């Protein structure tokens, strides 16, 4: 099974994607995690990405598409995967479709975790206090939400058009949300 997880920052997609990957045996690939690790170690990619990330902007498409191309070429995703945080722009979504076509990979579902802005702001402010992530300050959070609505939300329609979008109510307890996801992807 090959899945893409979509949802605004703070929608819980990372948490749920990890849980589902473990339960059904899929590779979990989070572009946010890969980028944060690259920044920490100080690789070329990390140096290029850091400024965009602290401002709550998206890292340029060419950098991130390159990263995903490497993963697809490595064969690591062969036995099923969950992409978390990619695609995030229409050019990324279209390149992903091309990569999949070339490598004969089928995308089964795009799972959207639907959460309203008020709930998102509340959750991210809570996470900022606990984890101290550099991009969880109030202004940056608002910017990330705006970026999501403008640049990422159009992807929902793109996958809806391919009849693979599944929207899941993303408010409630983590367990309740996981149950909803298992019903469509378990």
Q: Which residues are catalytic?
A: 13, 88, 127, 133, 144
Q: Does 21 bind ligand ADP (CB under 6 A)?
A: no
Residue 112 engages ligand ADP in binding (rule: CB under 6 A) = no
Q: From 18-26, 83-91, 94-102, 170-178, give the range in contact with ligand ADP by CB under 6 A.
A: 83-91
Interacting residues with ligand ADP between 128 and 167 (CB under 6 A): 135, 144
Report residue 49 as tokens.
Answer: 């990405």
Query: Which one of residues 3, 35, 96, 115 is an interface residue with ligand ADP (CB under 6 A)?
Result: 35
The answer to whether 31 contacts ligand ADP (rule: CB under 6 A) is: yes
Interaction between residue 64 and ligand ADP (CB under 6 A): yes
* 32 near ligand ADP, rule: CB under 6 A: yes
Distance between CA atoms of 144 and 106, rounded to whole angstroms?
Answer: 30
* Cβ proximity of 184 and 111 under 8 Å: yes
**117-131 and 138-147 are packed helices; what angle lies between their axes, rounded to 10 degrees?**
130
Q: b vs e for 76-85, b when ≥16 Cβ sit within 10 Å of the residue's Cβ?
A: ebeeebbbbb
CA dihedral sign of residues 89, 107, 67, 95: negative
Query: Which residues form the interface with ligand ADP (CB under 6 A)?
Result: 9, 31-32, 35, 52-53, 56-59, 64, 85-86, 88, 92, 135, 144
């Amino acid at each position: 099974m090959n899945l893409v997880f979509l949802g605004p920052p703070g929608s819980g997609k990372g948490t749920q994607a990890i849980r589902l990957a473990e339960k059904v045996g899929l590779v979990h690939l989070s572009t946010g995690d890969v980028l944060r690790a690259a920044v920490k170690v100080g690789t070329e990619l990390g140096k290029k990405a850091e400024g965009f990330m602290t401002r709550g902007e998206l890292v340029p498409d060419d950098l991130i598409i390159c990263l995903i191309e490497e993963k697809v070429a490595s064969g690591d995703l062969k036995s099923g995967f969950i992409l978390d945080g990619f695609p995030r722009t229409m050019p990324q979504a279209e390149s992903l479709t091309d990569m999949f076509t070339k490598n004969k990979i089928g995308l089964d579902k795009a799972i959207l975790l639907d959460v309203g802005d008020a709930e998102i702001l509340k959750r991210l402010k809570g996470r900022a206090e606990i984890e101290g992530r550099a991009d969880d300050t109030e202004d940056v959070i608002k910017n990330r939400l705006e970026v999501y609505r403008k640049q990422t939300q159009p992807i929902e329609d793109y996958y809806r058009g391919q009849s693979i979008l599944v929207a899941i109510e993303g408010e409630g307890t983590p367990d309740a949300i996981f149950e909803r996801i298992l019903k469509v992807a378990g």
